[in-house]
């Protein structure tokens, strides 16, 4: 018997991997590299990246969000925000996630393995998370764990019990991917009914086991948070501190919201992610998918079982709800980083189309000589497939437009910061030990390129480098300007805080009639403090918030 050398083990392992999984992994990985190469080969910081360019800073707020595993997963990629390292690991985790989805949904057709991995890699949430580069690898590890929990629950007899472990670990990194597990498990049940190889009673029992895994996983996570943080979460961040405390009276509104937001995503494009004509294509795709499901019910003789038809209808109705389960978790602001589960609606469309255009069609129980049973399904399946390809192209373009905007924002901020520092240091009486107070925000870079204002997504939604509390950190981290800087900015639209601190009132009084930077007189020195006025503020109500103060 030959020794099991590393090369023999590697060869045997490679041979055991099914070809469709190899196709899925490598297509996902290559698409991920191709789509995000611009970002992972450059450092394009958004506001959080400026603040947390060093990983130790992240540990200060991870526990406050109940993400007790986050600080350990961040440490795996080093103490700095490294685009190439975090980017490659993110794409690796996503590629493995795509393989698990393919296994769960039992898709084997090469083309549809590629399309499903492509849509998973190009969905806007991926690009949005990658703009938070330091957290991208940990967050996609959380996604992989969420997919793994669904894989365990589906593939093994008692997997629904062990699935609670990756659910807890996933939520301990990033809670939003809980919806991914829910959506995947519902998708499994939909496909099981459509396959019509088991009784509706077994499907219901399986669904109850899945529900138990989800509920128990959530309970175990909340218990872990309570044990690790006995005083509760330290931050009220987008409703996370209210997780598990939703009032029953709020449920109807939250459930309705979850459906309304799904409709807005596809029909209204409330997040401004799609070409203007995509809503029409999406609606037609759903109609085509409905037609294919009807044909499947006829082909598989599901129409003979009314209860199974009702079960199928219920599961299809539940899928959008599962995708937006984040609304029932207490989130007060559901942004693009939280909606990844929506991708499984696209995955369902591709799977259904693949049943008519892929090799899976041999699984049909009967043939029908009626041309209508051949032409209409093929046209519908081809239409869905083409729309999904157009959707992937749409997301590829949109993602790189985001990255372009980040690049312009960084370059503009850097250029204006050099100008600011130069003016400050040229002010008569300047010395390095003086404190600096900056009031307001300079004109946003989109005034020069207004078309960039159309690119709105979490991570690049606002022109935040110049216009918010992280700006002093930008001066320190990117220009090595380490003087004590305090940034006062207009808070009307953000926190509504009225701060009547004496130092703020003094700053307001001094800068009330000053011109704005870079006009002459926009920088003055009073009582050994350097005052810089970037913009006019509502002086009457002192609607100012002191965001950041750092220094010695």
- Which helix (H) or strand (E) segment holds residue 201: the answer is helix 200-228
Beta pairing partners, 490: 544
Task: List, in order, residues 6 or more apart from 238 with CB less than 8 Å away.
Answer: 331, 332, 333
Q: What are the CB-based long-range contacts (under 8 Å, 24+) for 211-216?
A: 212/160, 213/149, 213/153, 213/160, 213/161, 213/163, 213/164, 213/167, 213/185, 214/167, 214/178, 214/181, 214/182, 214/185, 216/164
What per-residue confidence (pLDDT) applies to 250?
78
- Cα distance between residue 82 and residue 88, in whole Å: 10
| CA 408 to mean position of chain CA atoms | 22
pLDDT digits (tens, 9 = 90+) for 306-356: 999 999 999 999 999 999 999 888 666 788 889 999 999 999 999 999 998
Digit-coded pLDDT (tens) for 383-406:
999 999 999 999 999 999 989 888
Contacts of 281 (CB under 8 A, 6+ apart): 387, 390, 391
Left if phi > 0, otherwise alpha if psi is -120 to 50, otherwise beta: which for 67? beta
Count CA within 13 A, CB hemisphere, residue 332.
7
How many other C-beta atoms can be found within 10 angstroms of the C-beta atom of residue 237? 15
CB neighbourhood size of 518 (10 A): 15
Dihedral sign for Cα 100, 102, 103, 108, please. Answer: negative
Backbone angles phi, psi at 489, to 5 degrees: -140, 160
- Residue 480 Rama label (left phi>0; alpha psi -120 to 50; beta): left
Q: How far is residue 516's CA from residue 3's CA, in Å, rounded to a whole number?
A: 77
362 contact partners, CB below 8 Å, separation of at least 6: none
Tens digit of each residue's pLDDT, the chain (552 residues):
456 788 888 888 888 999 999 999 999 999 999 999 999 999 988 888 888 787 654 444 555 678 889 888 888 888 888 999 999 999 999 999 999 999 999 999 999 999 999 999 999 999 999 999 989 999 999 999 999 999 999 999 899 999 999 999 999 999 999 999 999 999 999 999 999 899 999 999 999 999 999 999 999 999 998 888 877 665 555 555 555 566 777 788 888 989 999 999 999 988 889 999 999 999 999 999 999 999 999 888 898 899 999 999 999 999 999 999 998 886 667 888 899 999 999 999 999 999 988 644 444 444 455 677 778 999 999 999 999 999 999 999 999 998 988 888 888 888 888 998 999 999 999 999 899 988 877 666 556 666 666 666 655 555 567 666 788 888 888 998 989 888 876 543 333 334 446 666 777 778 778 888 888 888 999 888 898 888 776 544 444 433 433 333
Angle, nearest 10°, between helix axes 306-323 and 200-228?
Answer: 20
pLDDT given at position 466: 67
pTM value is: 0.88
Alpha-carbon torsion (67, 207, 156, 23), positive or negative: negative
């Amino acid at each position: 018997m030959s020794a099991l050398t590393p090369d023999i083990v590697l060869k045997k392992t490679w041979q055991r991997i099914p070809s469709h999984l190899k196709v899925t992994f490598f297509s996902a990985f290559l698409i991920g590299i191709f789509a995000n190469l611009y970002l992972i080969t450059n450092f394009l910081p958004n506001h959080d990246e400026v603040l947390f360019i060093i990983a130790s800073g992240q540990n200060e707020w991870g526990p406050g969000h109940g993400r007790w595993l986050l600080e350990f997963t961040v440490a795996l990629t080093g103490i700095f925000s490294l685009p190439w390292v975090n980017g490659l690991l993110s794409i690796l985790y996503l590629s493995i996630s795509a393989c698990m989805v393919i296994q769960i949904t039992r898709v084997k057709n090469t083309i549809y393995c590629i399309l499903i991995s492509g849509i998973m890699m190009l969905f806007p949430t991926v690009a949005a998370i990658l703009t938070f580069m330091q957290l991208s690898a940990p967050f996609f590890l959380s996604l992989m764990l969420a997919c793994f929990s669904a894989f365990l629950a589906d593939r093994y007899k008692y997997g629904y019990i062990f699935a609670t472990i990756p659910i807890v670990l996933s939520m301990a990194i990033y809670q939003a991917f809980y919806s991914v597990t829910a959506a995947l498990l519902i998708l499994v049940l939909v496909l099981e009914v459509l396959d019509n190889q088991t009784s509706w009673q077994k499907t219901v029992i399986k669904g109850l086991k899945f529900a138990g895994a989800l509920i128990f996983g959530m309970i175990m996570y909340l218990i872990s948070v309570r044990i690790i943080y006995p005083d509760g979460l330290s931050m009220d961040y987008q409703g996370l501190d209210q997780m598990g405390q939703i009032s029953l009276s709020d449920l109807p509104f939250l459930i309705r919201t979850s459906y309304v937001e799904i409709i807005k995503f596809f029909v209204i494009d409330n997040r401004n992610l799609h070409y203007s004509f995509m809503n029409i294509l999406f609606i037609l795709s759903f109609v085509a998918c409905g037609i294919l499901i009807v044909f499947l019910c006829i082909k598989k003789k599901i129409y003979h079982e009314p209860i199974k038809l009702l079960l199928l209808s219920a599961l299809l109705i539940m899928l959008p709800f599962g995708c937006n389960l984040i609304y029932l978790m207490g989130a007060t602001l559901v942004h693009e980083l939280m909606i990844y589960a929506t991708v499984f609606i696209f995955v369902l469309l591709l799977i259904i189309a693949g049943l008519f255009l892929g090799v899976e069609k041999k699984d049909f129980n009967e043939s029908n000589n009626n041309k209508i049973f051949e032409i209409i399904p093929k046209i519908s399946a081809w239409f869905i497939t083409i729309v999904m390809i157009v959707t992937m192209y749409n997301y590829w373009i949109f993602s790189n437009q985001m990255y372009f905007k980040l690049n312009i924002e960084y370059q503009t901020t850097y250029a204006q910061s050099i100008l600011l520092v130069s003016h400050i240091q040229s002010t008569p009486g300047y010395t390095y030990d003086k404190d600096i107070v900056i009031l307001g925000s300079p004109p946003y870079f989109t005034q020069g390129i207004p078309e960039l204002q159309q690119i709105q997504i979490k991570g690049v939604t606002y022109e935040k480098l110049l216009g918010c509390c992280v700006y002093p950190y930008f001066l320190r981290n990117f220009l090595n300007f380490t003087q004590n800087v305090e940034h006062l900015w207009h808070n009307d639209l953000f926190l509504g805080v009225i701060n009547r601190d004496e130092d703020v009132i003094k700053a307001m009084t001094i800068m009330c009639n000053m011109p704005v930077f870079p006009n002459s007189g926009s920088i003055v020195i009073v009582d050994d403090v350097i005052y810089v006025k970037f913009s006019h503020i509502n002086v009457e109500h002192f609607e100012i918030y002191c965001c950041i103060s750092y220094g010695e």
